[in-house]
Structure 1
């Protein structure tokens, strides 16, 4: 029999009364509270009742409502690390998305935050959702990524030096200090996962959601990740994660378990109470068998169809009763003791410290049922803390429990959190930070940026050599028009195709950051689209300058400037078209296919391959929708209009066009107005940009 000797220590609010022994215990108690520079947040208790979530399946005509979550109930308290488990298709991710506020449509039921109905705007500011995949920007360093997060999520009134203290403290805690100058693309999987967590820790959210945090990690990295989440929970946060068949060692780190099967809750309670509870339900876990594997096998039906029985038992409160009985059986004789080289008062928790709790009696009961686990607490709100450490000479471990008498309610009203429905920074600051980030991303993307520059130089020289000195030759007027059309064609595709992938490549990053309340959609859209504008001006100017002088166009400063402007406008409109296509398409593959396909009708009705009068009347309206038509018309008016004189015609050559007016008449643009072409191109630019923004806004709402 275990020889248990209990030692009771009273730790008053002003500190330990005496003795170095008590000081050692106190240092263990507060080991998890290392983030001293983070903004303070009160604890959050999340509860949901009769939660139902449905999705639509089937064809457009025959849509069927499929129920993913079926009248779920549950509660996640602060200071606890809760695992949501279940087989594939059980509804784990759906439950996480609904609780985190990522899915709001087709959801019924109550979600309560600290006992009050959840306000989604406020809740999103005080919570974070770290997804399964690490959606990070590859060309930024760890420190740069963290500082962007700090500048966006922390108050503008906070000094830069204070923000750096917060960032350095988080990086030190998560073991990323040595990698602070490393680019994200060169980080390992475990480091990327820790960086994803670090980005959300900047504003110290009291509730954190993790979707499959151990996915793709080795056993060592998995243990580090789950231990980190445990430490975050011990700091007073509410930490909830989905996990798929963890090892026994990792499974024991969790405080609470929520098991799903076919959209129903089959168990909710302590980790330690799982096996006894299932045994009472007639499901005996085999010896030396991982309880996590066993409960998944049960939900998959390998031991018979117990789904309805387990779901009914949860609704009848048998899980709570089982936890309460387990607590009563463990409380009188706490079975733990020190090893020879261990101090009798040194707890051997997974994270090396003993947590405290001021939770409700129900939470404390559940915590006691876990043996060496109990919820953490904000000590400032408590008058006295009583810690009981029991020693077991046979097991060589120390077990601890804590009872806390608090004068104030631990779970405060959400209105006291002082979080308005606004972002931490204003729109102008968000735009400035995001513009810098997007600009540096383009500069550091060597493949995209350098290839674009080289292509404009190489193709410009190639076109110049092919159409060398044809600009003022009357016998080669058609060739000169062809050179201008292919210049427009080249600038159109070089602006269109890279931009098509702008939003598909970063959509996951944007959704994660926007839903975690980093910045607004309009700030992101303006910054992302404007960051590429300087490159869409510089590259066409370089190309057009080479082509203009190599093809011997008129040596007129006014014509040259106007030629550069029409080329730049063409590139900007093509870029806007690419943004719209990228925003409207669901994936990279669809975007790369839709880009060239949509460009075909634009080119067909441009006026180069067929004149306007030749187009059937029922298709002529398409010509007005082609921005290339206005670019080509404007280019011809710049080169051959503006009162240009006669063209050169060498002796012995047949000159079809003697004057520049003949060229304009032949191409049916003699009545064109240059200012109209510029105005229409500017209209296309604004209209397409607004359409792309509206499409993004619609997709964002549809994603919820």
Structure 2
């Protein structure tokens, strides 16, 4: 599908001639007069919304389990946002501004009662995601990609899958030029200033030309120039028939005047008042609250609606609310709400939406969004894999240090075994060396992936919550991106220890030796992914994984003779990667040793062959295939459990 060019020549000319921090500032556009609603577009209305969210009970929660309680954040609030207007949701801290924004955009995972209508119709979450964009307060993304790469990824995941590459690229260029960040297109996301990052985030949300735009604290962390630029750009979008809704906390007086209307929440999540911005000061003055000439009007409003413990604040807020309900502003709100309620077909309760996509597709305002076809799972997977690869390639320092440390361990553990002999004393030496080869590989690859999911969880929760991709393609992309390292590094590690220690088998023996080492590195990575998905922090995951590792390590055959293990503990070795890997690597080495020299002292026990050594440790020469199958089963099992845990975590509420 095609998209209209969002720029007129004046906007383009201004954006190319002005600049800030190496990038042109956004086109300033012309203010849209009074901000009165325009014909067409999408009108969003919410009717007596009450919202409960689960909060952690710190007193009743403990290490074993967490206890939660339902906290009521919003209490029967109603409002309307119309095309062509820039609406500011304001209120004191804790009043529920972000909760209201996340609720009316259907991005909140909580208990919601009330009605949410678009052009008089209740919409499912999937359609709401298509018709709206959400610019979060904090910009979260993989910071090693450039602006253009980030936009290409987002365009491929958000736009219609049948859109050609040329159209997608042109759309990206148009948005970057319009928002004043075209010159920054080859700059890494980590190098952007706050204002530039905010405009890039806005460009991402505008890829599908949404009819409704939600912005959570769009001026947070910005200086006055960048804050004015962002709000001015939002006014320009509203003037084109968009419905733009922002939460904002005590803006400067100049910024406050740029909004067309204001929606004020008071402490406790209740509606205080809503009206055109230029009428707020007059309304407050009518109830005896006159803003001093040198005082920030926005800060004055918020302070007057804040309820504290003193009786005076409660009386003041009560007077404001009563006056609002007796005013023409409230009666106008009620009329507009009634219009929206009567605009569509009779609505059912929110959890039983009756409107079908077929009926909505007949309406021009919904038709173009319903035609958007989401990318396939393979497309999601390939682009997520591409992003992960870019992130790894552009952070070589971490990879190089990790690799050099692994090679240093190989040199360290193999040096003492140079020139060892296959005599009775050499049995312990060789088996101890094989044990070190396996254990160091498992621990190295296990702990190296503990950070993967906790570090990216805020990003993926937001992107999955916005419907960009499914958990499956993301998790699979992480599995695939880890494979090259789990193959290449163990092979080089094996070559170093095999050559320094002088192990048996020649070239063919070396190739065989690599197989169980690579396999145990892959299983260790899978186990690390499992811990990474189950626990929210690396510290907690490490603490919990240690007991399991110690128990499975005990039954690897070094510390206990597996032939003497009691029956009720015999099963432990079958969940131990240490056992499978050590037995496999021991079989490969000891089966090549036919004769072991006996000690001349008659009182010293004599083990005459490598196969006898395997029997001493409880290993069987015929178990190599079973060991490889066991490691393959653990690899699959760990990833299946890890994915299930990841799937559950992906359903949590994203941070906005």
Give the TM-score taking structure 2 as reference length. 0.82
The change in CA–CA distance for 1:228 and 1:470 in structure 2 (over 3 A counts) is farther
Q: Return the match for 1:449 from 387, 396, 399.
A: 399
The 5-angstrom pairing of residues 369-518 of structure 1 reads 412=363, 415-419=366-370, 424-470=374-420, 472=422, 474-518=424-468
Q: Which residue of 2 aligns with 1:530?
A: 480
Shift of 1:144: 1.2
TM-superposition CA deviations, 1:459-515 (whole Å, max 9, x none): 222223222233755532222222222222222122122211111111111122222
Q: Deviations over 1:134-177 (max 9, x none)?
A: 10112111111111112222233322222221111111122222
Q: CA RMSD in A?
A: 3.3
Change (3 A) 1:307 1:565: farther
Of structures 1 and 2, the larger Rg is shown by 1
Which of 139, 142, 145 is the aligned partner of 2:147?
Answer: 142
Q: CA deviation at 1:603?
A: 2.3
Q: Deviations over 1:32-90 (max 9, x none)?
A: 79xxxxxxxx7322111121111345336986432111111111222222111111111
**8 Å contact 1:125–1:516 — kept in the other structure?**
no
C-alpha displacement of 1:656: 5.0
Structure-2 residue corresponding to 1:174: 179
Retained in 2: the 8 A contact 1:278–1:284? yes
Q: Which residue of 1 aligns with 2:284?
A: 278
Q: Deviations over 1:641-698 (max 9, x none)?
A: 3x64224679999885431022112211137611111111111111111112111211
User: In the alignment, which residue of structure 2 is the partner of 1:686?
Assistant: 636
Distance 2:140 2:187 in 1: 17
From 103, 109, 133, the equivalent of 1:128 is: 133
Aligned residues: 588
Which region of structure 1 is more displaced relative to structure 2, 544-553 or 303-312?
A: 303-312
Asked whether the 8 Å contact 1:84–1:257 carries over to 2, the reply is: yes
Within the candidate set 121, 124, 142, 1:119 is matched to 124
What are the Cα deviations for residues 418-449 of structure 1, in whole angstroms up to 9, with x where unaligned? 426x8621111111111111112112112321
For the residue of structure 1 that corresponds to 2:549, the secondary structure is helix
2:526 to 569, 576, 584: 576
1:624 is aligned, of 548, 561, 574, to 574
Where 1:67 maps in the other structure, the secondary structure is strand
Residues 62, 542 of structure 1: alpha-carbon distance in 2 compared, 3 angstrom cutoff: closer
Residue among 479, 492, 496 paired with 1:546: 496
Q: Deviations over 1:298-349 (max 9, x none)?
A: 122376214445445556675345899xxxxxxxxxxxxxxxxxxxxxxxxx
The answer on 1:319 being equivalent to 2:329 is yes
What is the match of residue 609 of structure 2?
A: 659
Partner-residue secondary structure (3-state), 1:50 = strand
**CA separation of 1:30 and 1:274: change in aligned 2, threshold 3 A:** closer
> 2:3 matched to 1:54?
no
2:561 is the counterpart of 1:561: no
CA 1:593 to 1:176, structure 2 compared with 1: closer, same or farther past 3 Å?
Answer: farther
Higher helix share: 2
Looking at structure 1, the residues matched to 288 and 339 of structure 2 have their Cα atoms a distance apart, in angstroms, of 25
Q: Which residue is equivalent to 1:298?
A: 304
Counterpart-to-counterpart distance in 1, 2:555 and 2:327: 71
Range with greater deviation from structure 2 (516-525 or 289-298): 516-525
SS in 1 for 2:88: strand
Partner SS, residue 208 of structure 1: strand
The structure-2 alpha-carbon separation of the partners of 1:671 and 1:75, relative to structure 1 and needing over 3 Å to count, comes to same
Shift of 1:597: 5.5
Determine whether 1:636 maps to 2:586: yes
Distance 2:69 2:482 in 1: 44
Alpha-carbon separation, structure 2, partners of 1:414 and 1:471? 82
2:107 match = 102
Q: Residues 261 and 277 of structure 2 are in contact (CA less than 8 Å); yes or no, is this contact kept in structure 1?
A: yes
Give the superposition deviation at 1:283. Answer: 2.6
Q: 1:52·1:71 contact (CA, 8 Å) conserved in 2?
A: yes
Q: Give structure 1 stretches of 5+ with no counterpart.
A: 1-28, 34-41, 325-358, 364-408
Does the CA-based 8 Å contact 1:128-1:208 persist in structure 2?
yes
* Contact 1:470–1:477 (Cα < 8 Å) also in 2: no
Q: How many Å separate the matches in 2 of 1:62 and 1:639?
A: 53
Cα distance between partner residues in 2 of 1:615 and 1:309? 79
Shift of the 617–360 alpha-carbon distance from structure 1 to 2, 3 Å rule, reads closer
Match of 1:646 in 2: 595
5 Å matches for 1:27-66?
31=29, 43-57=41-55, 58=57, 59=60, 64-66=69-71
1:468·1:552 contact (CA, 8 Å) conserved in 2? yes
**What corresponds to 1:339 in structure 2?**
none
Q: 1:117, CA displacement in angstroms?
A: 0.8
TM-score of the pair, normalised by structure 1: 0.77
Aligned match of 1:203 = 208
User: Quick one: distance in 2 between partners of 1:512 and 1:108?
Assistant: 23
Partner SS state of residue 203, structure 1: coil
CA deviation vs aligned residue, 1:81-112 (integer Å, no higher than 9, x gap)? 21111111111121122222222331211111
Q: Which stretch shows the higher mean deviation, 250-259 or 468-477?
A: 468-477
In structure 2, the gaps of 5 or more residues are 1-26, 32-39, 341-359
In structure 2, C-alpha distance between the alignment counterparts of 1:471 and 1:175, rounded to whole Å: 72
Give the alignment of 1:329-368 within 5 angstroms: none
For 2:419 and 2:103, how far apart are their aligned partners in 1?
66
Deviates more, 1:591-600 or 1:554-563: 591-600
Partner of residue 259 from structure 1, selected from 235, 239, 264: 264
Check the 8 A contact 2:377/2:473 in 1, yes or no: yes
